[in-house]
Structure 1
């Protein structure tokens, strides 16, 4: 039983570390995407050809710098929001699978597996 519990513990630890790493990486990419879009908007404003020869045609709104741009807290994507969204997806998938399963088939498969384990233990 020690092998099984050690294996399960190692599997749980590895998958949780991978999940957290992937989620953190995704949140970082989303933040980088937001910053790059802001920078592209600023560069496009600076290089606007409409105002190159006649400043009267220069775009009226000047983009704010990245440091002064503050997004409202509810629209800023955080790791908490990403984890909450993933959790809701997993719960929805579980509910759809639970609703679509034929529980008699699951019960029969589980009982066959349990009987096979008991026979294996009795032989040893």
Structure 2
């Protein structure tokens, strides 16, 4: 019992550390991606003819559209879990709606027959 508890405890600890390090790495990469995209937008805005030379001739609407859009709102962990939960519930609801009770009855009868055969052999 001590070996198995130690083995699984070590496995759990190692898996947790690996999972957390992968999540930190992923969030860092996403932050870097967003920063690079924002910098590219700024550089494109500066280097475009509208931004570099013809700013005074540009209409206000076009000038406002060429500004950098605010970064999209990142969903929180709670929203991601809600979305995953809703997908699971939707899948179960679809499965329940398409379920044929005749198939359930046949499966239950077959399972009961197999169990009774196993009990009779022993």
Q: Taking structure 1 as the reference length, what is the TM-score of the superposition? A: 0.51
| TM superposition outliers: structure 1 runs of 4+ over 6 Å | none
- Specify the SS of the correspondent of 2:74: coil
Is 2:102 aligned against 1:95? no
Q: 104, 108, 111: which one pairs with 1:110?
A: 108
Q: 70, 80, 83: which one pairs with 1:82?
A: 80
Backbone CA RMSD of aligned residues: 4.0
Between Structure 1 and Structure 2, the one with more helix by share is 2
Greater C-alpha radius of gyration: 2
**Cα-to-partner distance string for 1:29-63 (whole Å, 9 max, x where unaligned):** xx559825434432322222223234425745754
Q: Structure 1 pair 86/50, CA: closer, same or farther in 2 (3 Å)?
A: same
What is residue 45 of structure 1 aligned with on the other side? 45
- Specify the SS of the correspondent of 1:77: coil
Aligned length: 95
Listed as ranges, the matches of 1:47-66 within 5 Å are 47-57=47-57, 59=63, 62-63=67-68
Matches of 1:33 and 1:114 in 2, distance apart? 59
**Cα-to-partner distance string for 1:43-85 (whole Å, 9 max, x where unaligned):** 3222222232344257457548xxxx687xxx43122211211
Q: Unaligned regions of 5+ residues in structure 2, if any?
A: 1-15
Matches of 2:85 and 2:32 in 1, distance apart? 23
Q: Taking structure 2 as the reference length, what is the TM-score of the superposition? A: 0.52
**Cα-to-partner distance string for 1:67-116 (whole Å, 9 max, x where unaligned):** xx687xxx431222112111111111111110111112112212212321
Matches of 1:115 and 1:43 in 2, distance apart? 73
Matches of 1:33 and 1:79 in 2, distance apart? 20
Q: Unaligned regions of 5+ residues in structure 1, if any?
A: 1-16
